[in-house]
Amino acid sequence: MTIFDQLRQFDSPTIFNAVDKYINKSDKYSKDTHSLLYTDKTIQCLLPTLGTSIGKVITAEVTTNDPDSTSIPWDEYYSTLENSDGPTVSVIKDVDSNPGRGACFGDGMAYAHKILGVEGVIVDGTVRDLDGIKEANLPIWANGLVPGHGTFNLTSVNTSIVVGNLRVQENDILIADINGCARIPIEFNLDEILKLAQQIRQREQNLFQIYRQPNLTYSEARRKINQILD
């Protein structure tokens, strides 16, 4: 089982907690860094039944209606996906003059991304053809849905971008689920993040076991919880 398969067993809040603990244990990082490591409420899970996605980030910026926007060949994006050392999560930002008015992603793109081994797609913008994306079995997160788009141009590949108030760059790790997306910066030690996530899960399970005891009083709960936390 790869490190990504092991991390996939945790939800994004647990991964965020592990990353936050990793930062707090280190003298290398600002304690304010944690506030930058998850998406905001604008990034919504549109197909929650497809589960969790985790992988290395590949970014793209697009416009969906501006006919005069600077464009580069789409093959630059798809060849980057094809040559990536997966697993991969594609992160797409709509940089149109009217972002979200046109869709950044649809069912045809979903099938192409599946062929290229993409685990999931995060869109800071809108998408369309949700039933087709579901049929392609590609998990997707976005701001919402619209039925169409205008002139559709690719403007950059693998630049540092901000999606849902979260800055990401090439080869950062994203884990995305029904809660949103949590970021593991590229330089963080994944084995250590996994170890911290395991510790957090065990601690929570011990606490929840106490909470579920019948007829538990507040003072009894505090005493038992303090024993775990000591």
DSSP 146-195: -S--SS-EEEEES--EEETTEEE-TT-EEEEETTEEEEE-TTS-HHHHHH
Confidence (pLDDT) at 224: 67
Confidence (pLDDT) at 219: 75
Confidence (pLDDT) at 190: 97
Q: Are 169 and 91 in contact (CB under 8 A)?
A: no
DSSP H or E segment with residue 228: helix 218-229
Question: Which is nearest to 134 in space by CA: 43, 50, 39?
Answer: 50
The tens digit of pLDDT for each residue in 26-44 reads: 766 665 555 579 999 999 9
Q: Are 164 and 181 in contact (CB under 8 A)?
A: yes
Confidence (pLDDT) at 204: 79
Q: Are 170 and 59 in contact (CB under 8 A)?
A: yes
Confidence (pLDDT) at 29: 63
Confidence (pLDDT) at 220: 73
Confidence (pLDDT) at 168: 96
Which residues of the chain have a pLDDT value below 50?
none
- Regarding pTM above 0.85, the answer is yes
Q: Are 46 and 129 in contact (CB under 8 A)?
A: no
Confidence (pLDDT) at 73: 97
Confidence (pLDDT) at 32: 59
Computed over its alpha carbons, how large is the radius of gyration of the chain?
Answer: 20
Confidence (pLDDT) at 31: 59
Confidence (pLDDT) at 33: 56
The tens digit of pLDDT for each residue in 112-157 reads: 999 999 999 999 999 999 999 999 999 999 999 999 999 999 999 9
Q: Give the C-alpha distances (Å, rounded to integers) separating 191 from 15, 22, 84, 177.
A: 12, 11, 21, 21
